[in-house]
């Protein structure tokens, strides 16, 4: 099947790109491997996306974005892209299940995946106390004590969310200065259920058949080791871009993010990147939709000029 534009990834960047290309009357297909919305879908509450003065849930915002793009004709399918190859000006896309598509232009909006702690017990207790999604798993921990690892926006915002269920939330950060936005920090410092453990890293997660029981941590300044009794460990230590399947197709930076110019153009003509998968200083929904809009319009211009 031949499309004008194929968008890979259905988060805010991909859905916005699809909205623009569909409104531009380009035959557009979006391929998403899981649920549309991407990381937004697993975010409980969003306060800094303009237009929703009281905030909006990640699930609702994702649905609204999907419906809006679909209204203009964007086709959305589920599938996992395993390879992209070039055939002259055309781009060929292969899915894991054998389906194949061709497109004049591609927009890569594959986002990123949570980084792992890579400590003992993380694998063993994944899904049984170790989680990367507070929205998905928080409600299982009513009146329990929980640990959150990290000091960025995700760790502090999701730590705050977890206080809805848990009795106590320990936010364990490897430095003594948070990376999270100041207003989020202020809310966390004022929350009596949140306790910060500074200059510390997790070393080992222990538990039994029923799940996590404790987390061993080490203070990097004093070398002191200690153990926290917790029923869950929520990991928010950043993300890795989903670019492994690209295998040399476009230039990546040293951290494997796609390098683009201001038109979202990658190093390969007709292939664009948008959202968190792109090398850029600020990763937000607001910047992802901006990238998506630019990538969509750039793809339209490329097709006009080259086909």
Q: Please state, in angstroms and rounded to a whole number, the distance separating the CA atoms of residues 164 and 138.
A: 9
Q: Which residues are catalytic?
A: 133, 136-137
Q: At 307, is the secondary structure helix, strand, or coil? A: coil
Determine which residue in the list 157, 205, 289, 303 makes contact with ligand NAP, applying CB under 6 A. 157
Looking at beta carbons only, is 134 or 294 nearer to ligand NAP? 134
- Phi, then psi, of 212 in degrees rounded to 5: -70, 140
Smallest distance from the beta carbon of 298 to ligand NAP, in angstroms? 23
Q: Please state, in angstroms and rounded to a whole number, the distance separating the CA atoms of residues 76 and 108.
A: 15
103-124 residues labelled b (16+ CB within 10 A) or e (exposed):
bbbbbbbbbbebeebebebbee
Which residue bears the tokens 């106590």? 168
- If binding is defined by CB under 6 A, does position 236 make contact with ligand NAP? yes
For the window 3-42, what string marks contact with ligand NAP as x by the rule CB under 6 A? ----------------------------------------
- If binding is defined by CB under 6 A, does position 293 make contact with ligand NAP? no
Strand partners, 32: 78
Identify whether the C-beta of residue 130 lies closer than 8 Å to the C-beta of residue 32: no
Smallest distance from the beta carbon of 252 to ligand NAP, in angstroms? 18
Q: How many residues bind ligand NAP (CB under 6 A)?
A: 19
Nearest CA to 233 among 71, 117, 61? 117
- What is residue 274's DSSP assignment? -
Considering only 7-15, 30-38, 67-75, 151-159, which stretch makes contact with ligand NAP by CB under 6 A? 151-159
Smallest distance from the beta carbon of 250 to ligand NAP, in angstroms? 22
Which 40-79 residues touch ligand NAP, going by CB under 6 A?
Answer: 48
Strand partners, 7: 30, 107
- Which positions lie near ligand NAP, rule CB under 6 A? 48, 149-155, 157, 174-175, 179, 201, 236-239, 283-284
């Amino acid at each position: 099947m031949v499309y004008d534009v194929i968008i890979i990834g259905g988060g805010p960047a991909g859905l916005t790109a699809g909205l623009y290309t569909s409104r531009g009357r380009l035959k557009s297909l979006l391929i998403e491997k899981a649920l549309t919305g991407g990381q937004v879908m697993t975010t409980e509450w969003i306060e800094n996306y303009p237009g929703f003065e009281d905030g909006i849930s990640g699930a609702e915002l994702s649905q609204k974005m999907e419906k809006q793009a679909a209204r203009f004709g964007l086709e959305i399918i589920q599938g996992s892209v395993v390879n992209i190859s070039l055939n002259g000006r055309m781009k060929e896309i292969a899915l894991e299940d054998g389906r194949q598509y061709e497109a004049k232009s591609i927009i890569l909006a594959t986002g990123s995946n949570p980084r792992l702690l890579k400590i003992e017990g993380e694998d063993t207790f994944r899904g049984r106390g170790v989680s990367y999604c507070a929205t998905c798993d928080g409600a299982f921990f009513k009146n329990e004590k929980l640990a959150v690892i990290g000091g960025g926006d995700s760790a502090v915002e999701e730590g705050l969310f977890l206080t809805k269920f848990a009795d106590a939330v320990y936010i364990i950060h490897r430095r003594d200065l948070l990376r999270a936005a100041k207003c989020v920090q202020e809310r966390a410092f004022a929350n009596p259920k949140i306790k910060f453990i500074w200059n510390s890293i997790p070393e080992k997660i222990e538990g039994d058949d029923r799940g996590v029981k404790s987390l061993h941590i080490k203070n990097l300044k004093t070398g002191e080791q200690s153990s926290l009794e917790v029923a869950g460990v929520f990991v928010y230590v950043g993300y890795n871009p989903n670019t492994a399947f690209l295998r040399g197709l476009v230039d990546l930076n040293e951290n494997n993010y796609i390098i683009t110019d201001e038109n979202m153009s990658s190093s390969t003509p007709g292939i664009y990147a948008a959202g968190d998968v792109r090398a850029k200083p600020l990763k937000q929904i607001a910047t992802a939709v901006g990238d998506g809009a630019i990538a969509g319009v750039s793809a339209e211009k490329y097709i006009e000029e080259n086909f």
